[in-house]
Amino acid sequence: MNDLQKMEEEKGVLRWGGLAGMLGGILLILTWVVILAGPVGMEDPVDLAGFVTRFPDIRAARIVENGIYLVALILEVTLFLALYRALRRTSLAPALFGSVLAILGLAVLMAGTLPHVAHAPLSDLYHAPGATPGEQATLALLWQATLGVFDAMLYVGFFVVPTGLIALGVAMLGAPAFGKGFGGVSVLLGVVGLVAAVLQMVDPSSMIGAGSYFACLIFYFVLGWKVYSLSRAS
């Protein structure tokens, strides 16, 4: 393979990684639109059984929301691979550790993107003809326990991904193509996301973990655009 072919392959990695990062960010915003504007909503039911009783009404919206979220996270893996490719020559260690941590965090988030797969059978049993009040109460408790497992994965992902952003930001500080501007912004976004994730773990009932979500979202857009622009300039 000659140098020209290698250069074209390098540009292709950066181009597709940057576009995937920005597209993933758009899909993440669309996920929130589905939640806020659709029947899913942000407010929890007033009682435990409310989660199960309303599920048939929001099942389709939940499937759409979770599906979009999963695709968005998969696209962001491409961005982190492109960032590693762009940073490995100047800052191998932080680029490698940062991209691996970020992808690991995304993998944890992906594992928690489809709670409806676990909740649908519980809902079917709850609404089945002949289900007794005692059985329904037990199913409601199982629903809550299952939801807790998915929330735990969400919080871990919110913690690990920003840690990767910090390492990648450090790598950018030593890379002329990114410089202190993009490196500093990446470190700052990572710190904001990490602090929000820690506070969410301390108080799971709060919504402060959304700070980690939006810090990562900004990163996907800013660095997605930057990586894409590198493919055009190189």
Q: What is the pLDDT of residue 143?
A: 87
Whether 50 shows a pLDDT value over 80: the answer reads no
pTM above 0.75, yes or no: yes
pLDDT digits (tens, 9 = 90+) for 170-199: 999 999 999 899 999 999 999 999 999 999
Confidence category of residue 4, pLDDT binned at 50, 70, 90: low
Q: Give the Cβ contact number of residue 66 at 10 Å.
A: 18
Q: What is the DSSP letter of 39?
A: S
Q: What is the DSSP letter of 114?
A: -
Q: What is the torsional sign of CA 93, 96, 99, 103?
A: negative
Closest to 104 measured CA to CA, from 126, 81, 120: 81
Whether 163 shows a pLDDT value over 80: the answer reads yes
In contact, 178 and 87? CB cutoff 8 Å: yes
Q: Tell me the CA end-to-end span of the chain in Å, nearest whole number.
A: 18
CA angle at 155 for the pair 169 and 221, rounded to the nearest 5°: 40
Q: Return mean pLDDT, the chain.
A: 89
- Give the Å distances, CA to CA, from 33 to 65, 97, 147, 155: 9, 33, 22, 21
Contacts of 13 (CB under 8 A, 6+ apart): 81, 82, 85, 231
pLDDT digits (tens, 9 = 90+) for 71-112: 999 999 999 999 999 999 899 999 999 999 999 999 999 999
Average pLDDT, integer, range 211-230: 95
Question: Of 38 and 61, which is predicted with more confidence?
Answer: 61
Q: What is the pLDDT of residue 34?
A: 76
Q: How many Å apart are CA 48 and CA 111, to the nearest integer?
A: 24
In contact, 158 and 209? CB cutoff 8 Å: yes
